[in-house]
Structures are given as C-alpha cells and as structure tokens.
Amino acid sequence: MKTKVILAAGIYATAAFALIAGCSTSSAPAGVATSSGTSAPAGVATSSGTSAPAGVATSSGTSAPAGGATSSGRSATSGLKTCNPGAASSSDPGVQAAQQAITKAASATAWGGPTTGPKGQKSGATVVFIPSNSTNVGDTGVLAGFQEAAKVLGWNVKVIDGRGTVSSNVAAFDQALALKPAGIMVSSFDPVSSKAEFAKAKAAGVPVVGNHTGGTAGPQSDDPDLFTNITSDPATIAKIAADCAIVTSGGTAGVTIYGCGSEFSICNTKEDAMEAEIKKCSRCTMLNRTDYPFEDLTQRQGGISAAAVQKYGSKLTYMLSINDGYWDASIPALKALGVGPSGPPLMIAAGDGSPAAFQRIRTGQYQIATVAEPLNEHGWQGADELNRAIAGAKDSGYVTYPHIVTSSNIDAEGGKNNAYDPTNDYKAHYEQIWGVSGN
C-alpha cells in the first residue's frame, strides 16, 4: 500500500476545531500537557493550602497497595479518589446503578463485531481518507488503523488533510472526488455542511463512510448518502462519564459541563446525556452547562473554568466535558488559582482517550477518567464498512462499546501505549471475513 499526503487548499483554523473527534491536538509530556505546550511535572502540586470539601479526597496522607484501588476507590497509582470498579459499594440505589455501569465499561471487551461479510474487494484500487484535521489524534488514530487494514486489502490510500474548518473539509472532499477513487472515508466531518458533497459522491458511484460524522452510529436518516457512521454511542459515552462523578462522590457531585452545543449534533447528544444522568442523582447538583464554538476552545476554556471555580467555590467538585481537549486548556488556569492536581474540582471527559489524558490519569494530575473509543479498531471497521459498500452489501451494524479508563486499568487494553486498543483480536476477525491475511 502506498500512502500519499495531499494538503487541500483552505485557511488553517485553530487545531481545537477538530476536537470533534474527541482528542487533544497537543503533545503529552510527562505530567500535564497543555494547549500552550507547558507542562507540570508529575506529582508536583501547587502551593495552595486549601482543603478539599466533603466528597473529594486529596492525595495526601493516603496509601494504597500497589497494583490496584483501595476499598475507598482511591487510585493505587496516583492517590486520587476515582470511580475504580473496586470502590466500596454504596447503599444509594442511584450510586449502585452508576457503579454497575462503570464496572461494565472498565472491563475488557470480547469481540462483538461481524463474523461474516464480503470478501476483499478491488485489490489495487485507490481509496481516500480525509481527516478533518491532520493534527488531531482522534482523526489520525483512526487513519492509522484504516491504513493498516487497507494494506491487508491491497488498497492504495491517499490522505487529504481537511485542515480543520468546514470550508476546507468540503474543498478536500471535492479534491478527493476528482481522483475518482473506489471509496472515501472521512473523519470528524460536519454531516450537515457535507451533505451536498456526499450526494455528489453517491451520484458518481463513490461510497462514503464516516467516523464521528453524525450524532449516532450507523446510517444517518437525515444524510442517506453517507453509507454509515462509525462511533461508539455518544449518549452511552456521556452517561458513563457522568456515572464516574456520581460514583466517586458517593452521589453528592457538584457538576459543570462543557461542550459545543448545537454546533455539532454529537456535542448536544453528549451534553444532554451527561446533564440528564447528573439530574437523576438525587443528591447531586447540576451547577452550569457552557457551550461555545470549538474554534474558541484554546482561547476561552481556561478563563471559563477559572471563572466557574471562583463562582461556585466548594460546590464545584467535578467538571465534565465532551472530550479531553477541554482539560488541556483548563489546567494551567486552575493551577494559577492554586488548585492542586488532586482538586477540587476533578475532571472527567466523555471522550475519547487522548495520550495527554492517559498521562494525567496515570500520574494523578487533575483528570481521573476518560471514556475512550478504540480508534485503531475504528479504522479497521472503516475499511470493512467501505469494503461492504463497494461490494453492494449492507453496513455491518456494529457499534463498539465505550471503555472507561481510570487509574486501576490505565495499562490494560493498550493503555501502556497511552491508547485504548482492545485485545479482542479485531484484526484477525476482519482478515477472516475478507479472506486475506496480513501476515
């Protein structure tokens, strides 16, 4: 397989715009990576001497046996209290239900994908992959898996960078269509603004598969020219993130939520699900929900988070967001206020397992959990769905289940490499379906 990178014409916007795929665009040095490139050494707290309010534990004075969580839910790695499956059970039915959801999401996932499908199609053909922004890990992680799978199928992959804005995404798609490929996969596209482009592709006989290109998994009723959309269910991801706050607080969380609202349907889906889950918790408090455009994230989130801490004080114990990138931008501002790495507030992300998030969770720096998607597996699924489309078959209907990463399972299921990569032999399953071998 040959891979060629083509830069589409267009104005390069801020890297934050492409965070629709859920991952940070910044690098993750040891400690806490920020959008500005600064970092905090692992284990170094600020000089603040403030104490944590009830329901939020600090990392001081608490020991934990190596290799697991204590019965209180504290991390053996970082000392932070979190929603580890080994946390003590609660008599509160709402907390118990949340704990069950966390336990399921933290477990290793057996293969639940397709076992039958068309054999490999059009070996030697050219296919195109368009990441909304080639600096976004959420897009490039899927691209890496797609390239692996395409090599097995004998496809040549051309990569066209969408450069992070809607107009540039559309321009990249038009450039891809002009190549007359066998198929196109897009990642983190806005399905509304891309609808006309998808229609052009269908009219030309070029199938299009999306990743994070819609508010739900599978075919989109309002965008029938997109063959299918690959994502773990956004509402389930968000519910699990909220459940983590409920479990960790023992059902007393004071919460703020951050996202992009109506800008993308997946944003509203996640925010609505988190808010609904927190409001079901009788002793939890939904303090505020803040929406604004993605392109403003790196400029605005730090100030917004700092203002929330100043406004709500000890009432604010947990901050929830639709992805990890919000915490890249928030942490420097909170450090400046004297908020130490053990909070409060503590941070949880409803997507998607960036390397920076893994580092923060591993070292006990502000963030206690991320609900991750299997990006590399989604790349293989994208190749399988495109192969089905080329063959004239139906989509597989497969939806991966999200996986919560906490300090207790940080090194499992690919976590040692700062990514969620399930040990369910997905590559072998797809190779068997296609009748090919990558060996």
Lowest mean pLDDT among 59-68, 206-215, 268-277: 59-68
Residues contacting 276, CB < 8 A, separation 6+: none
Question: Could you please report the per-residue DSSP string of 124-162?
Answer: T-EEEEEES-TT-HHHHHHHHHHHHHHHHHT-EEEEEE-
Predicted confidence at residue 79, as pLDDT, reads 54
Select the more confidently predicted residue: 267 or 264.
267
Which amino acid, 236? T
Share of the chain above pLDDT 90, in %: 67
CB 411 within 8 A of CB 124: no
Predicted confidence at residue 133, as pLDDT, reads 84
Which stretch, 31-40, 115-124, 183-192, 265-274, has highest mean pLDDT?
115-124
Which class for 27: exposed (0-12), middle (13-18), buried (19 or more C-beta within 10 A)? exposed
Tell me the pLDDT tens digit for each residue of 404-427. 999 999 999 999 999 999 999 999
Q: Examine the pLDDT at 349 and tell me if it is beyond 90.
A: yes
Q: Examine the pLDDT at 319 and tell me if it is beyond 90.
A: yes
Domains observed in the chain: 3-8+111-232+375-398 (3.40.50.2300), 25-40+52-109+234-372 (3.40.50.2300)
Q: Examine the pLDDT at 73 and tell me if it is beyond 90.
A: no
Select the more confidently predicted residue: 27 or 199.
199
Pairing state of beta strands 318-321 and 346-349?
parallel
Q: How far apart are CA 400 and CA 381, in angstroms?
A: 10
The 10 Å Cβ neighbour count of residue 12 is 14
Lowest mean pLDDT among 91-95, 272-276, 374-378: 91-95
**Pick from 15, 231, 230: nearest CA to 132:** 15
Q: How far apart are CA 161 and CA 133, in angstroms?
A: 6
Which amino acid, 298? T
Q: In angstroms, what is the C-alpha Rg of the chain?
A: 21
CB 106 within 8 A of CB 409: yes
413: left (phi over 0), alpha (psi -120 to 50) or beta: left
Q: How far apart are CA 251 and CA 278, in angstroms?
A: 9
Q: How far apart are CA 143 and CA 379, in angstroms?
A: 6
Predicted confidence at residue 209, as pLDDT, reads 98
**Pick from 351, 365, 367, 389: nearest CA to 319:** 367
Predicted confidence at residue 5, as pLDDT, reads 38
As a whole number, the mean pLDDT across the chain is: 83
Q: Six-digit token pair at 55? A: 């329901």
Q: How far apart are CA 419 and CA 376, in angstroms?
A: 9
CB 12 within 8 A of CB 127: no
Query: If you average pLDDT over residues 199-226, what whole number do you get?
Result: 94
Select the more confidently predicted residue: 91 or 362.
362
Q: Examine the pLDDT at 8 and tell me if it is beyond 70.
A: no
> What are the distances in angstroms from CA 434 to CA 31, 121, 312, 347?
42, 8, 55, 42
Q: Cis omega (within 30 of 0) on the bond before 234?
A: no
Q: Examine the pLDDT at 59 and tell me if it is beyond 50.
A: no
Question: Could you please report the per-residue DSSP string of 285-325?
Answer: EEEEEEE--GGGHHHHHHHHHHHHHHHHGGG--EEEESSTH
Tell me the pLDDT tens digit for each residue of 358-390. 999 999 999 999 999 999 999 999 999 999 999
| Residue 253, phi then psi, degrees to nearest 5 | -65, 140
Q: How far apart are CA 337 and CA 437, in angstroms?
A: 55
Of the pLDDT bands very low, low, confident and very high (cuts 50, 70, 90), residue 46 is very low
Sign of the CA dihedral with 354 first, then 358, 363, and 369 last: positive
Lowest mean pLDDT among 126-130, 211-215, 432-436: 211-215
Predicted confidence at residue 166, as pLDDT, reads 86
Q: What is the DSSP letter of 398?
A: -
